[in-house]
Amino acid sequence: MPLMKSWVTSANSDTTPFPLNNLPYGVFSIGDSDPRCGVAIGDMILDMAAVEEAGLIGIDEDDAFDLPFWNDVMELGPDVWATLRARLTELLAEGSADQALVEPHLVKLADVQLHMPLLVSEYTDFYAGRQHAANMGAILRGSPDLPANWLHIPIGYNGRASSVVVSGTDLHRPNGQTKAPDAKMPSFGPTKRLDIELEMGAIVGTPSKLGQPITVDEADKMIFGYVLLNDWSARDIQGWEYQPLGPFQGKAFGTSISPWIVTAAALEPFRAPTPAREKELLPYLNGTVDGLYDIELEVLMQPNGADRATALTKTNYNRMYYSAAEQLCHHAIGGCAMNAGDLLGSGTISGPDKSEYGSLVEVSWAGREPFTLDTGETRTFIEDGDTLTLRGAAIGDGYQIGFGDCTGTILPAVKHP
């Protein structure tokens, strides 16, 4: 599919993340106005509450956009999602009969504050990157062999929705309990091994019922859209606490997402298959759709005071072993009800080459191989004042489907007696 042209001329370049082909959903405010729904187009944002109030949208749900989240629109279901996207495309396309009516409801992106685009109902994080799992095995256990269940189960854990934050939110270095291998007793204090995890987040748009399993194909249709997701991780806290249960305080202090929900509809031309199965999956995990997407991803690090960021990693979401639809199917298979607004982290995305590793514990091989930034400074993990940024885009014919940056700066740990 080629670039679709808009009368918003800034949307017609091959460098904007937000051409007419994209139409991602966010939440914005101007000054001290109440946050409300908006759609990005070029360097502008369409005020959805205003354009709906003007009678230009016509979906049968009053005030679904005059809210600081997109959950009410999600709950209207896939038919309404498709109608809404078609109507927005019509309104913003080159030659639209409604240009003069829509134009007053556009605001410059540069003038707005962006907020969380959804109310996160619950947050689950998976572990679906084969190279990442092999790297972590090599680092932690001295062998790249996968855990015995890994090729059979999309492994995950239930995380915290309360600490999912929008890009641009600074986070304090977490305090916690750690134990050095040669120490007799654990100690308390700020993590010394603060890390990122490069992930995609899938957003569930339609609920499933308690006690009712879903198929992979049904799960695929339930996904409203995707965001970039940084699963900040305190490796030393995680390493001490996870035996025998999964991640807890090593992960619970913060998860950042990009401010725009890129819809599954916008990503449709970029579908990619999961790789050949190394072990045959149990039948319930087999679907008929290509559940991954060809999305180019990048991680950048910028120390406090540096005038530019250093690119650390470049990889692609199509590297994953399990798709979000397979993960969602597995999540519900025992009868767990899924909600509109549930967020599913993909797991760390790492490609086979070292330049494609999606976490610092892999890039620095658990601190044994420091890396050098463009400023000349070296790092193994994150230091106070460092800003970490995830970027992603699906690259089309003369256009790209961008996500907007997912960024966060690490502040010093809070003092605790």
Tokens standing for residue 93? 């396309």
Span interacting with Ca ion, options 121-129, 134-142, 288-296, 365-373, rule CB under 5 A: 121-129
Among the listed residues 344, 343, 371, 345, the one whose alpha carbon sits nearest the alpha carbon of residue 357 = 371
125 binds Ca ion (CB under 5 A): yes
We find the least distance from the C-beta atom of residue 150 to Ca ion, in angstroms, to be: 14
Q: Which single residue brings its beta carbon nearest to Ca ion? A: 231
CA atoms of 281 and 410, how far apart (whole Å): 40
362 binds Ca ion (CB under 5 A): no
Among the listed residues 83, 393, 126, 118, the one whose alpha carbon sits nearest the alpha carbon of residue 267 = 393
Span interacting with Ca ion, options 49-57, 122-130, 150-158, 355-363, rule CB under 5 A: 122-130
The residue among 3 and 349 lying less far from Ca ion, judged by its C-beta, is 349
The residue among 197 and 386 lying less far from Ca ion, judged by its C-beta, is 197
Active site residue 132: yes
CA atoms of 117 and 222, how far apart (whole Å): 18
The residue among 52 and 231 lying less far from Ca ion, judged by its C-beta, is 231
342 binds Ca ion (CB under 5 A): no
We find the least distance from the C-beta atom of residue 348 to Ca ion, in angstroms, to be: 5
Q: Which of 132, 152, 330, 331 is catalytic?
A: 132
We find the least distance from the C-beta atom of residue 291 to Ca ion, in angstroms, to be: 18
**365-394 positions binding Ca ion, by CB under 5 A:** none
We find the least distance from the C-beta atom of residue 350 to Ca ion, in angstroms, to be: 11
Sheet strands (E) in 156-238? 156-158, 164-166, 171-172, 175-178, 187-190, 194-195, 198-204, 223-230, 233-234
Tokens standing for residue 403? 């996500």
Tokens standing for residue 397? 């014919």
Residue 289 is given by DSSP the state S
Which one of residues 231, 298, 362, 405 is an interface residue with Ca ion (CB under 5 A)?
231
Q: Find the distance separating the first CA and the last CA of the chain, reported in whole Å.
A: 59
We find the least distance from the C-beta atom of residue 217 to Ca ion, in angstroms, to be: 26
Angle, CA 62 vertex, CA 60 and CA 64 arms, to 5°: 100
Cross-strand partners of 118: none
Site string for Ca ion, 193-212 (x = CB under 5 A): ----x---------------
| Positions in the binding site for Ca ion (CB under 5 A) | 125, 197, 231
Catalytic residues: 132
